[in-house]
A and B are shown apart, each in its own frame.
Chain A
Amino acid sequence: MSDNQNSDGGVPTTGHIWDDNLADLTNQPPRWWMLGLTGSAVWVVVYWLMYPSVPFSTSGTFFEGIGLPGTGKWTAIKEMQEDQKVVDAVRMPFENKIKDMTPAAILADKELSEYVVRSGKVLFGDNCAACHGQNGVGTVDKQGLFAPILNDDDWLFGGTIDKIHETIVGGRQAIMTPHKDSLKPEQIDAVAKYVKALSEGKGDSEPDGKKVFMESDCTACHGPDAKGIQAMGSANLTDKIWRFDGSLEGIKRTIAYGVNAGPDSRIAVMPNFKEAGKLSDSEIKKLAVYVYKFGGGIKDDVPAAAPAAAAPSAN
């Protein structure tokens, strides 16, 4: 502790007196304080030399500093890479496992699938959400639904984990031929009314449309029961979910101009992500599990077209 006793009053003042009686004593600052000040000044120079502290670079070179003891020369990129290693170290055990597993095995592993649900969000946002919407809610343009909703259990090409994986790897593109030339407008009108009624569960109320459906080429792709054939990606017309537009006008347009078949037809193309080369095998597997876990994934042993009916009462 410094001596703060000035009981003799013998310390000279600076000579200036304010307000009649206030003066500054010319006491030296305490030694510890002066040492601290000097030490800090020295440290500033050392610190300045250790880091790349000159904020200019000429022709790509800059003052790199003399470096830190033990760890070498510091740059922001190096520090970021060190931080990245910490993150990678946490993820590595999971990523190593995923590398050698099938999507179905990843899904079956509770811990891994939970990891995918958390880490897949960025992947999905970067690669899928542009068409399918954030969290797979689908996107809508003025002609109807642009890309399918991934949260529901209606799948054009199958909703098992392997089918979803296959879809991402290879892409999908189905075709529906236009019928504006092969069917008369009133026939199109009748069959549109029929499939709309089908979706509402009262297909028998439209016998005219049913006749057109059965006698023209509709059954070739959608099947005689109108439930669609997943191998070719034809839609199930009996459920409540519409790929493009469930209004009568929308249905008529789909029938008249088809899908992926020339001018005015609807466009439905899922790109090939394997070929695009942007995603690694692990990332595609993670995306498949991520999409499955939205809630619409179909278990392998459950037939795709038979979702559980509402139980009488859960209460």
Chain B
Amino acid sequence: MNKPRQVGAEEVGHLTDLYQEHEEWHVNLGEKTIHAKRMPGRFRTLKYITQSIWVFFFIGAYMRWNGKQAMMFDIPNRQFRFFDLTILPQDIWMVALLLLLLAMTLFAVTSVASRVFCGYFCFQTSWTDLFTWIEEKIEGNPHKRHKLDAAPWNAEKIRLKLLKHSIWLLIAVLTGVSFSIWFTDAFEYWHNLLTFNLPMIAWVVLISFILGTYYLAGFMREQVCLWLCPYSRIQGVMCDSQTLLPTYDEKRGEPRGKLRKGQLAGKATQGDCVDCFQCVQVCPTGIDIRDGQQLGCITCGLCIDACDSVMEKVGRPRGLIRYASLDEMDGKPVKKLYQHPRTFVYIGILLLALIGILYGLTHLGALTLRVAPERQPLFVRMSDGSIQNKYVFNVLNKTGKDLYVKIRAEGGVKGQIIVDAEKPQLVIHGRSTPFTVFVKAAEANIVKEVTPIEFYVENTEDPNMTAEYNTVFNGPKR
């Protein structure tokens, strides 16, 4: 970026310093629209493939399973449905682990191969790519687009712009709808949308998404990566001298210069870079990779494709711009992947989170039991002299149907009886059902003021479906 300036003594104190500094500061402030050139190549193809992951975002919610939407974040009913699995708010700790997993995946991948997410997966990159692809189909190549932008308004310009913006808006609407249907029944949503029957919150979400998509992908584009996105800033920190980045081989390329007739490859005083500016023209964020790794680089590799194709044409080896680490460029020994301790710490945390999630998913349990002992009074002396404790049971039924549970206890006081233990209790599915349970025991058998007791509830039809909870039995002072 900008070097420390050598400032003459006479310049100190001049207000105009600010402007001079500004002139040297090559920053894309978005005052000119970047019309990047599309060139075929390895990384271009790879980018198409990785970005197509977003097709799932558009169609995933329509998948049905047992007559219901297969995947749904059901906010009104406070549950997440994933095929046969229902995840209730009580299992929310797994979401924390999932976020940790995603963060660590981002960290680990970024430390190895820099901003892979930005270049190949990010929705901002993907949607912008789609929008510019449509722009190119309608308005032509970058040269034509620049000309069209500068041209005065006429029927043809209006026609092209109208067509482009309509298609953009259509994609924006589809994006908004596709987001919304993950949170409600997809087909019901379409029906309500087409009959203008959506609830207020749904309209707000939809319109926000339409405007957001249209504006961010249509107009803001690379400005989002440069000035809005926190990830782009954070990820830069995770790269080090061993991280693979699209890098310009300065030693090979410099001094750059235009190719002249009759010049022989490798014999000239000139480097390999022919200063064709193809790498700049294809760059979706409009940077010059030859200035070195920088904030604006989303590491999409499109400049590598462009440079390789030019190198082939001028008969020089490929890879003037290539994925390489700074160490490699400096001629330092390149460490193997397993020699990056930082990456392994990331992967370690990632695996821990993954294990936690797998444990959680396999141990979800169909029932969860919470028992709250009555606090006032702690116990009641009954007419036969026995001591009775009152407990409020809350049984969360995560299965898809209502079921009956029976109650038993372990530990506690010798000779205790659970009142009406033989009577099964109905627990409603998908929520927590409360009921009251009384336990009484002869006072003579109570040896401690507070006796630990463990309660079990068991599905009457499936003895393996149980849940337990540890609590206490309170008695008089001993």
Contact = CB atoms under 8 A, between A and B. Distances in A.
Given A239-B383, A295-B438, A9 B417 contact: no
A21 B13 contact: yes
A310 B412 CA distance: 14
Interface string A283-300: 000000000011110000
B442 A310 contact: yes
14 contacts: A1-B31, A5-B31, A8-B19, A21-B13, A23-B15, A135-B374, A137-B377, A152-B383, A241-B382, A309-B384, A310-B415, A311-B417, A314-B412, A315-B412
Interface in B407-430: 409-410, 412, 414-419, 426
A278 interface: no
The list of the 8 closest CB pairs from A to B, nearest first, reads A239-B383, A240-B385, A154-B383, A151-B380, A310-B442, A21-B13, A137-B377, A311-B417
A84 interface: no
Interface in A108-124: 110, 114, 117
Contacts of A23: 15
A20 B13 CA distance: 7
Contact of A293 (B18, B382, B416, B436): B436
A9 B380 contact: no
B414 A295 contact: no
A219 interface: no
Residue among B384, B388, B441 with most chain A CB within 10 A: B384
Given A7-B19, A21-B14, A314-B409, A241 B383 contact: yes
A310 B417 CA distance: 7
Contact of B414 (A9, A307, A315): A315
B15 A9 contact: yes
A240 B388 contact: no
B435 interface: yes
B460 interface: no
B434 interface: yes
A294 B377 CA distance: 10
Given A23-B15, A295-B438, A310-B386, A134 B376 contact: yes
B77 interface: no
B383 A114 contact: no
A157 to B, nearest CB: 14
A194 to B, nearest CB: 18
Interface string B185-225: 00000000000000000000000000000000000000000
B440 interface: yes
Nearest to A136: B377
B30 interface: yes
A1 to B, nearest CB: 7
B154 interface: no
Interface string A90-106: 00000000000000000
Contacts of A314: 409, 412, 415-418
A151 B19 contact: no
B339 interface: no
A153 B390 CA distance: 13
Interface of A: 1, 4-9, 13, 20-21, 23, 110, 114, 117, 134-135, 137, 149, 151-154, 236, 239-241, 293-296, 307-315
Contact of A295 (B12, B384, B390, B409): B390
A236 B15 contact: no
A137 to B, nearest CB: 5
Nearest to B426: A110
Contacts of B383: 152-154, 236, 239-241, 307
Contacts of B414: 313, 315
A152 B380 contact: yes
A236 B22 CA distance: 98
Interface string B14-26: 1110110011000
A146 to B, nearest CB: 16
Contacts of B22: 7
A37 to B, nearest CB: 23
A300 B387 CA distance: 22
Residue among A7, A8, A152 with most chain B CB within 10 A: A152
B381 interface: yes
Interface string B323-349: 000000000000000000000000000
Nearest to B413: A314
Contacts of A152: 380-383, 388
A1 B19 CA distance: 20
B163 to A, nearest CB: 25
A240 B476 CA distance: 14
Contact of A307 (B12, B374, B380, B382): B382
Given A1-B30, A137-B376, A310-B441, A240 B416 contact: no
A7 B440 CA distance: 87
B415 A307 contact: no
Given A21-B14, A313-B414, A295 B380 contact: yes
Contacts of A293: 436
B384 A239 contact: yes
A64 B377 CA distance: 51
A23 B14 CA distance: 11
Nearest to A118: B434
Nearest to A159: B383
Contacts of A137: 376-377
Nearest to B428: A111
A133 to B, nearest CB: 9
Given A21-B12, A239-B383, 16 more contacts: A1-B30, A5-B31, A6-B19, A13-B15, A20-B13, A135-B377, A137-B377, A153-B382, A308-B417, A309-B384, A310-B386, A310-B442, A310-B445, A314-B409, A314-B416, A315-B412
Contacts of A5: 31
Contacts of A307: 382-384
B24 to A, nearest CB: 12
A313 B377 contact: no
B380 A296 contact: yes
Interface in B290-328: none
A216 B119 CA distance: 102
A315 B410 contact: yes
Nearest to A236: B383
A134 B377 CA distance: 9
